[in-house]
Amino acid sequence: DTEVTQTPKHLVMGMTNKKSLKCEQHMGHRAMYWYKQKAKKPPELMFVYSYEKLSINESVPSRFSPECPNSSLLNLHLHALQPEDSALYLCASSHPPTTGVNEKLFFGSGTQLSVL
Amino acid sequence: RKEVEQDPGPFNVPEGATVAFNCTYSNSASQSFFWYRQDCRKEPKLLMSVYSSGNEDGRFTAQLNRASQYISLLIRDSKLSDSATYLCVVITGGFKTIFGAGTRLFVKA
């Protein structure tokens, strides 16, 4: 199984809503990532979890709250988002970096989020 | 200066053409290098890893030049299905994964 599964595929939410994005992988990867991608731009890193602990937070606003319940699951909780947060949210996973070697990322198909 | 720079294109080429993309990176300590392909409204998919010795996969050849700090991707005998955005990815220590802006390729009949 070389898949990273993301749900939902599409999400429309109002600025007062609370919603969650979900990501799952069964490749035994112990690093999981959230990326945000705007149209015609490259993915931008938001968060990284390594061995279920938050390793990187790229100064993301607190209205985005990540959670890693176990080694296979990654969530992104959304609250009080702004219209400019509309984007494609991509989950990825990889083996954690070992000395001198970094492993490639596998991406899920993403959640296309629209904030009204 | 951006950490990873790519020519955004677009590159418009006829079927059967050979096309080459370059990507430069600024951090000499960068450790791993990849080319990803992304279709419109889809996720990036790994095309190939890039090594100093060069590597080839069918019509695709990737090369790393550490001295000049650039990586390249060569596509031979372009197909219509090669039309996509090609993303250069550089990993510099730990989880620091940096994407280039992407190069758009259009292959036309």
Q: Is B91 on the interface with A (CB under 8 A)?
A: yes
Distance from CA of B2 to the nearest CA of A (A): 13
pLDDT at A66: 98
The whole-angstrom separation of Cα A49 and Cα A56 is 7
The whole-angstrom separation of Cα A78 and Cα A81 is 7
Which residue did the predictor score with more confidence, B73 or B9? Answer: B73
Tell me which DSSP letter residue B15 carries.
T
The whole-angstrom separation of Cα A53 and Cα B9 is 39
Q: Is B39 on the interface with A (CB under 8 A)?
A: no
Tokens read off for A40 = 């015609």
| B60-65 and B55-57 strand pairing | antiparallel
Residues of A with CB below 8 A from B46's CB?
104-106
Distance from CA of A80 to the nearest CA of B (A): 25
Closest CA to B18 of B97, B88, B82, B96: B82
The whole-angstrom separation of Cα A76 and Cα A35 is 11
Residues of B with CB below 8 A from A110's CB?
42-43
Tokens read off for A80 = 């009080």
Q: Is A73 on the interface with B (CB under 8 A)?
A: no
Query: What tens digit of pLDDT does each residue of B12-65 get?
Result: 999 999 999 999 999 998 888 999 999 998 999 999 999 888 899 999 999 999
Instruction: Say whether pLDDT at A91 is over 90.
Output: yes
Residues of B with CB below 8 A from A107's CB?
43-45
Verify whether the Cβ–Cβ distance B44 to A55 is below 8 Å. Answer: no
Instruction: Say whether pLDDT at A100 is over 60.
Output: no
Query: What tens digit of pLDDT does each residue of B7-21 get?
Result: 888 999 999 999 999
Instruction: Say whether pLDDT at B108 is over 80.
Output: yes
Q: Is B89 on the interface with A (CB under 8 A)?
A: yes
Instruction: Say whether pLDDT at B74 is over 70.
Output: yes
The whole-angstrom separation of Cα B96 and Cα B46 is 17
pLDDT at A24: 98
Q: Is A69 on the interface with B (CB under 8 A)?
A: no
Local confidence band at A1 (pLDDT 50, 70, 90 cut-offs)? low
Instruction: Say whether pLDDT at A102 is over 70.
Output: no
A21-50 average pLDDT score: 94
Asked if B107 and B82 touch (Cβ cutoff 8 Å), the reply is: yes
The whole-angstrom separation of Cα A48 and Cα B94 is 10
Q: Is A114 on the interface with B (CB under 8 A)?
A: no
